Amino acid sequence: DQQVKQNSPSLSVQEGRISILNCDYTNSMFDYFLWYKKYPAEGPTFLISISSIKDKNEDGRFTVFLNKSAKHLSLHIVPSQPGDSAVYFCAASPNYGGSQGNLIFGKGTKLSVKP
Amino acid sequence: DTGVSQDPRHKITKRGQNVTFRCDPISEHNRLYWYRQTLGQGPEFLTYFQNEAQLEKSRLLSDRFSAERPKGSFSTLEIQRTEQGDSAMYLCATGHYEQYFGPGTRLTVT
């Protein structure tokens, strides 16, 4: 059973417009959420994170929104640039007693930004 | 460059052979994680170290897999008697809440 779901395998956006990537989770024990970007043949690169006590975190062109009641988070990229084209992974960290912080990832969404 | 390095970057081996991968973490990070990623999937947790102690193992880590982190510095992941299903990208990460990944080792078992 997949605990972190990214239901859109791909997304295509025009340069300069907003990209919105979505992620749903099922486990209410998750307390920290992250977005990673991955280029082919490279490891994932950390982008932005959010704690469950917040509903928004912003870093430059990237903003993550968290809706705990809906168990949903989203990553907004404004404005989108061709260099943003990559696979984006949503990840969650569980807060069980004695949690070791291992991340649980979604399957990823491939973003293509067209010039 | 995250400061996490992995060696080798690519490994091709025949079924039944043993392979070993190495991860050199960011020096001030006590926590080190191993993940495996297959095509079309996100990274999946394998095991975790706090300094030199291996504190958690996933059920994905069969008896053929072993990991070490002597002296709490670099870590090695060994796969014995490799199978074709072991073909994947093996990723090392360090950090706590925000984990920083190395470039990975791509394993192909023929």
pLDDT tens per residue across span B17-67: 999 999 999 877 889 999 999 999 999 999 999 999 998 888 888 899 999
Interface contact B42-A91, CB threshold 8 A = yes
Q: Which residues of B touch A108 (CB under 8 A)?
A: 41-42
Question: What pLDDT sits at residue A89?
Answer: 98
Q: How many CB atoms lie within 10 A of CB B49?
A: 23
Question: What pLDDT sits at residue A72?
Answer: 97
Interface contact A42-B98, CB threshold 8 A = no
Question: What pLDDT sits at residue A114?
Answer: 96
The SS3 of residue A55 is coil
Chunked into runs of 10 residues, chain A (115 residues) has average pLDDT values of 92 98 94 93 93 95 97 98 97 69 92 97
Instruction: Please provide residue A43's backbone torsions phi and psi, each rounded to the nearest 5 degrees.
Output: -75, 165
Question: What pLDDT sits at residue B68?
Answer: 95
